[in-house]
Structure 1
Amino acid sequence: MARIELADLAHAYKPNPTQPSDYALRPMSKTWDDGGAYALLGPSGCGKTTLLNIISGLVRPSHGRVLFDGKDVTDLPTEARNIAQVFQFPVIYDTMTVYDNLAFPLRNRGWKEAETRKRVQQVAEMLELSADLKHRASGLAVDAKQKISLGRGLVRPDVAAVLFDEPLTVIDPHLKWLLRRKLKEIHHELKLSLIYVTHDQVEALTFADQVVVMTQGEVVQTGSAQALFEAPEHTFVGYFIGNPGMNLLPCTLKDGRLMLGDLPFSIPAAAAGQIAADGANITLGIRPEFVETCDAQQADALRATVTSVKNMGTHFLADFRLGQYAVAAKLATAGDLAPGGAAYLRFPQQRTLFYVNDKRVA
């Protein structure tokens, strides 16, 4: 295991980049702690696989350095970095038994057979492959083959890190859920450093202690599931995390007042300077979970029109029209809400966030 440091790292696939859009990976500096479980989360093309391949040595960064425990490995090939990598599709030997597939990485490094057997049995039990150890891999379903790939990545206890590139893509939904939980348990038991690439927020938030959210080649926030949900540092994080995502409502300044359409809002003292800056792109953000319905007489009530109300089983999902803006709310009860009817909404001050040029200021 290793502490992985990315120092002033950036990458462009085209020569002589001049614009931010030329970079597949924009300049960043980050540290991955020894033994941590991280997820790189973002949409296709955001740079997460490029970043993973730079860490593994499959891609050399066009700028910056990669360090393992303080040692510069930027120019080292993959095989010299002591990492394991698990890909989208199974990478195994079909003609070998499950046992031999799992044992191969250890035998290749000169492990004694008794130690190899003990480790293989440990990993096989974790992945529920014990009953298949004597079977040839060629006869197994694709789900089981991908579990073997996971096992081959996890079987070496001395690796600097295990890197996963969307490894559950070919797994059926129910088994995918079980394997996410299993990987979490394995991480806690084996204390391996794990970095996991995915575009699935549920997968990332279930698996990782820290989630690295990326968009357009940039890391916009790193944090726990709770931090990403309750305090997104960037509008993209608010939009991308959650179902539905955060309500993001453009605001303007008028005569020194913050306006949501024709509705005034108090400017948070901590953000007053940035919000008042010339040319600032101001956005109010609030999660659907924190939008409340209230009485018309309440001082901070906002008059809205109900667009739709859906019973989701555990909650009601209501859509409103607030002036020119759409607002979603997750409500415990629907009360007398009906499409086309009037309603009054409240945005609790402690749950309302403000962004300038997409970055949180309060």
Structure 2
Amino acid sequence: MDFKPITKKNVSLEGQDSSQGLLIVQSANECIQKAKNQPIPLKLCGNFWFEGEVCILFADTNVGKSIFAVQVADNISKGKNKGVFKTETQPQKVLYFDFELSIKQFEKRYSIEWENHYLWDNNFLRVEINSNYSDFTVFETQLFAEIEIQIIKTQSKILIVDNISFLSMESNESSKSALPLMKYLTKLKNQFKLSLLVLAHTPKRLNPSNPMTINDLSGSRQIANFADSVFCIGKSSQGASIRYIKQLKARSCAMTDEVWTCELSKPYNFLGFEFISNDYEQKHLKPKKEAEEEMKSIIVSMKAENPEVSMSKIADELGVHKMKVKRMIDKYSL
């Protein structure tokens, strides 16, 4: 590509304060000296999320990412400093934007059949969409404006967004649509000195015999590029309530090949993740033959329920090759 200068003649940078321009140029030694005066980022959720980061957590539907995020918010609001998901910070306010559950659904998860409710710290501030709001022509503009108002009003430095799809009227499954949203979140982080945990989903069903990767995240390239850290939750083949948590990107700590095995449980009035042990993802994946049988059943069922659906659409939804879908349909469809 032939790059040409774009600076106009009437644009003068002479005498301009370097802090006002787009770029800041300084020596590496100056960078280090400035960094020395800044506090060391503390853990907000073990090694998965640190202060000052935009962190992405993703999982398939009904795996438990919202449950985990609420547990993280509870830990931070109370300053719980024990366990693998501990925070190193003092108790502080958390703005939890819950765009998924109604207040009654939220109540059910954190009570015993609507009684004996879990006691939250007042630092836990839950935010939801006003059901009476109707002007969706300016929804995004209004949403971003009110998010910034609440940041200023509450003085919260911790934001959890459940989930990213509610921040944009456009689909976030493409890199193109995810880019401006991630730029906005980064700007928000820098402007208000925030730490953000943003929940996302997988756009297709995962092959249960394949390891989870960043490619399973909607809008994966742009979202991952702008995120400081990324981790995911997978469903384990070891049991219906067993999950594993896998770190996929980190800038504030060393990466590991291990995953964190947990059990999704509700011993009393709090539905959450209980850590079991560290092991390897391969132990949680289904054998290829079993996964193949499951895939065959899903493909045949999808075609039987909707004979007009194309093989390409099935392939896209399941994240497999079109020819694999064709072979399954030709061999097993009645």
TM-score for both structures, normalised by structure 1: 0.35
More strand by percentage: 1
**Higher RCO structure (Cα 8 Å, ≥6 apart):** 2
Structure with the greater alpha carbon radius of gyration:
1
Q: Which one has the bigger helix percentage?
A: 2
What TM-score do the two structures reach when normalised by structure 2?
A: 0.38
